Amino acid sequence: METKGKIRSIGVLTSGGDSPGMNAAVRAVVRSCTYFGLDVYGIRRGYQGLIEGDVFKMKTTDVSGILQRGGTILKTARSKEFMTPEGMRKAYDEVTKHQIGALVLLGGDGTLRGATKFFETYNIPAVGIPCTIDKDLVGSDYTIGFDTAVNTAMEAIDKIKDTAEAHDRVFVVEVMGRDAGYIALNSGIACGAEDILIPEEITNMEEVLYRIYSDERRKKTVHIIVVAEGDELGGGKAVSDAVIARFPWLDVRLCILGHIQRGGSPTFADRVLASRLGYAAVKALAEGKTQVMAGVINGVVEYTPFANVIKGSTPITADMLEMIRVLSV
């Protein structure tokens, strides 16, 4: 395939929080560049690494054996300096120094916001790949890392449920999700949680406490509450404190899963998604596309402008919330 314009080399970086599958996407970018005859440069530690010139030329052997690894071989970071005029100038100087014609950016909302400002100032072509365990970006039905994170949370909650049943306990399990409740929603449904508390919905704690009271009256001695860390009540600690205050005789335990959800080998779904989008990002740049995020919608690769991704939101459907109530009876 012939490339449009003058792009002869592409830089790839991972930015923001890590997510399982980032390595698979990096692998796909490097190998696609090689196939299309493009030079590819790895940029370590995201935008901060670009500012500091932590850039190296990559070849296919650099990405051998990384498909199944969590984390990111390019490392990742958040950079406040990049959002300043001075920081962007330093980044542009490094892009020019290494003769990088375009960027492939793996990350979430913050990564794309940075790319938008960089393009507005220096006109550097870029394509994004949605990498976030929270699945909080429009433009793709799933984001890289989400499936793995949900499966990790599900496996942990299943094990917690075993001990809850052995001891007749109420367990409050906090999962990641500062602004989005998709991990809590999906892992909670998959594990049969009695309550799922998410940032998208105002939590009525009195209703939660009443359900615990009703369960106790009918001798249902196990109650699992899955809470997204961004729930407006204050996360798992606030919820467990409220349950203990109302039912001091119950055996109530809090478990915060934390960063275990970010790590681990990516699932097949994340590996395939990452491979598709890594290839799609390079193909898009080779065809002259820029300032778009590659995603998969209804099984088809689509490209969504950064502006739409940043401004959009992915609401949780009402039927999912209703189903939780029905199935927790």
Contact 227, 239 (CB under 8 A): yes
Decide if 100 contacts 6 (C-beta within 8 A): no
Give bridge partners of residue 173 from the DSSP assignment.
226, 255
Helix (H, G, I), strand (E, B) or coil at 180: coil
329 vs 311: CA distance, rounded Å: 38
CA distance 302 to 91: 29
Catalytic entry in 134, 195, 231, 270: 134
> CA 182 to CA 198: how far, in whole Å?
8
Asked whether the beta carbons of 71 and 25 are under 8 A apart, the reply is no
* Start-to-end Cα distance in the chain: 57
Strands 195-197 and 292-297: unpaired
* Residue 134 bears catalytic tag: yes
Q: What burial class does residue 90 get, using C-beta atoms within 10 Å of its C-beta: 0-12 exposed, 13-18 middle, 19+ buried?
A: middle
- Complete DSSP assignment for 116-159: HHHHHHH---EEEEEB-TT---TT-SS-BTHHHHHHHHHHHHHH
Q: State the CB neighbour count (10 A cutoff) for residue 286.
A: 21
Alpha-carbon distance of 24 to 14, in angstroms, equals 12
Provide the 3-class DSSP secondary structure of residue 230.
coil
CA 85 – CA 29 distance, rounded (Å): 29
Catalytic residue positions, numbered:
134
